[in-house]
Structure 1
Amino acid sequence: MAGRYGVSSRSATRHSPRRRSRVRRRSRIHGVRVTFLSCSFAVTAGLFGLAGTATGPDVPASAGVLPPLSDRDGDDTSRGEARVPSAKTARPVMEKVVPPPADPNVKPVATAPLPAGSGSGHRVVFDITQQVVWLVDADETVLRTYYVSGSRYDQLPTGTFDVFSKSRDAVSWHGTETMEYMVRFFRGENSNIGFHDLPVATATGAEVQTLSQLGTPLSDGCIRQDLDDAVALWEHTEVGTPVVVVRS
């Protein structure tokens, strides 16, 4: 299908640790000549009564000595104006990532068992944490289990809801994407939330994500599915079918 392209790869460059030659240095502490290897170490102030006495070409006389509180400016001189915390801004909170298959056109396989306490009877179960959907029959038989891509903003509450409308074709709330097999079950703040297939960008005609990205929350609110899974859920539901949303 259009839009199922390869995913980009990220290269990384390793830096070899810098080798340091072992050089002998000499220093004097209270008139005693001491030979030691050059390496990073800390001298605790006041150790054996020698605080401030370890001096030399690499250790200034004032090293490790803080000025008294009365001489410091402000409550905490380590925090300048640029470090003052700013107002908290909204940001995505869902970070679950399923390692994608090598082929971007192949979706990952979900094998997780139906969560305990996820209702009974004919229903749809969606686990926000695992990003997995189960289609369950009236006799508790799991008919289908698969990965989806829910909201990256995590605004869907847990609970039991009912399907209240279905549309064979739909348009996103911002008008830049189209989708098929929409099954709505929750009235969101900006628009209704439901299940549908992978959206297609109206500007390019390409799907907005690959199949291999299913299992990762990427949408603005709805739950994205592979086309085959979207058709299966469409046929599994009717207006009034329960949708149980859980967190594992």
Structure 2
Amino acid sequence: MGTHRRDVRPRYGRIGAATSAVVVTAVAMLAGFGLFPSSATSPPPRERPAANAPGSVEVLGAEAVDAAIGVDIRNASTPGERRRIRAEDLLPADSGSGRRVVYSEAQQRVWLVGENGRVRHTHLVSGSVYDNLEPGTFQVYSRSMSAIGIDDSGTMKYFVRFTQGDTGAAIGFHDIPVKDGQKVQGVDELGTATSHGCIRQKRSDARVMWRFADLGTPVVVTG
């Protein structure tokens, strides 16, 4: 019986696939040794805004910059809006730790600080024109949605009390009082001491304080 010999044809598809695999492997190895640029390089760092550009962070030195890292500032007047950190947003030195309210008499400013030590909100206030509050650590002991000031000084909302003065009158945070249908001060005056005992806030900021400072919340007062 005769023998039939089959023609042997090269399988170009397999040869091509094997060649491609070898090339890819070689390129990957060369890139690993730094001989080819890698497509996974890190993007160039973003440029910092100019020091006095609107919304920019002023260069404050290494310690101040480190203190600002991770701070999350929100504006109560525009719910949910985040804004760039400014110098005045930074917490005063030696202002405690953990979840707390910090009030600076010198800056007439309040900070609401979360459990992780990050500032959740900060705003200007108007504290007392009298020297009725010593620096120290206090606790919220009473809250009232509405209240009437002593000596017919007006009505107020979102009253968060944390201590008492020499006369036994409560000292705390609340919105700007209203007397005879008019606010006793303007919002533009916040940031200066104008009250007769308590710490006044814009209505939207007073709401944020009310939601944050429940009973027992530490309040740190700095000079």
TM-score range, shorter chain: 0.5 to 0.7
Separation (CA, whole Å) in 1 of partners of 2:138 and 2:162: 6
Aligned match of 2:160: 183
* Mapped pair 1:197 → 2:175: yes
- 1:152 paired residue number: 129
For the residue of structure 2 that corresponds to 1:150, the secondary structure is coil
Query: Please, which of 186, 192, 196 is the counterpart of residue 210 of structure 1?
Result: 186
**Which residue of structure 2 lines up, in the alignment, with residue 137 of structure 1?**
114
Structure 2 counterpart of 1:236, one-letter code: F
For 1:154 and 1:110, locate their aligned partners in 2 and report how far apart those are by CA, in whole Å. Answer: 27
Secondary structure of the residue that 1:174 maps to in structure 2?
helix
Task: Output the CA distance in 2 between the equivalents of 1:128 and 1:112.
Answer: 15
Contact 2:139 2:215 in 1 (8 A): yes
Distance 2:187 2:87 in 1: 13
**Per-residue displacement from partner, 1:133-157 (whole Å, max 9, x unpaired)?**
0000000110111110000012100
Alignment gaps of 5+ in structure 2? 1-85
Q: Which residue of 1 aligns with 2:213?
A: 237
In the TM superposition, residue 237 of structure 1 has moved relative to its aligned partner by: 1.0
Out of 55, 80, 95, which is 1:118 matched to? Answer: 95
Compared with structure 1, are the counterparts of its residues 198 and 209 closer, same or farther at alpha carbon in structure 2 (3 Å cutoff)?
same
1:177 Cα deviation from its structure 2 partner: 0.4
Q: Distance in 2 between matches of 1:188 and 1:168?
A: 21
| Alpha-carbon distance between aligned partners in 2 of 1:127 and 1:205, rounded to the nearest angstrom | 30
- Inter-partner Cα distance in structure 2 for 1:220 and 1:125: 20
| Bigger fraction of residues in helix | 2
Point out where structure 1 has 5 or more consecutive residues left out of the alignment: 1-108
Deviations 1:53-93 (A, max 9, x none): xxxxxxxxxxxxxxxxxxxxxxxxxxxxxxxxxxxxxxxxx
Of the three residues 170, 173, 176, the one matched with 2:147 is: 170
Per the normalisation by structure 1, the TM-score is 0.54
CA distance in 2, matches of 1:124, 1:174: 28
Residue 228 in 1 paired to residue 204 in 2? yes
Aligned partners of 1:149 and 1:214 also within 8 Å = yes
Residue 15 of structure 1 is matched in structure 2 by none
| % identity of equivalent residues | 50
The answer to whether the 8 A contact 1:111-1:145 is kept is no
Q: Which 4+ stretches in 1 moved above 6 angstroms?
A: none
CA distance in 2, matches of 1:175, 1:166: 20
Greater Rg by CA: 2
Q: CA deviation at 1:110?
A: 8.3
Q: Secondary structure at the match of 1:234?
A: helix
CA RMSD of aligned residues (A): 1.3
Q: Contact 2:172/2:199 (CA < 8 Å) preserved in 1? A: yes
CA contact (8 A) 1:130 1:215 kept: yes
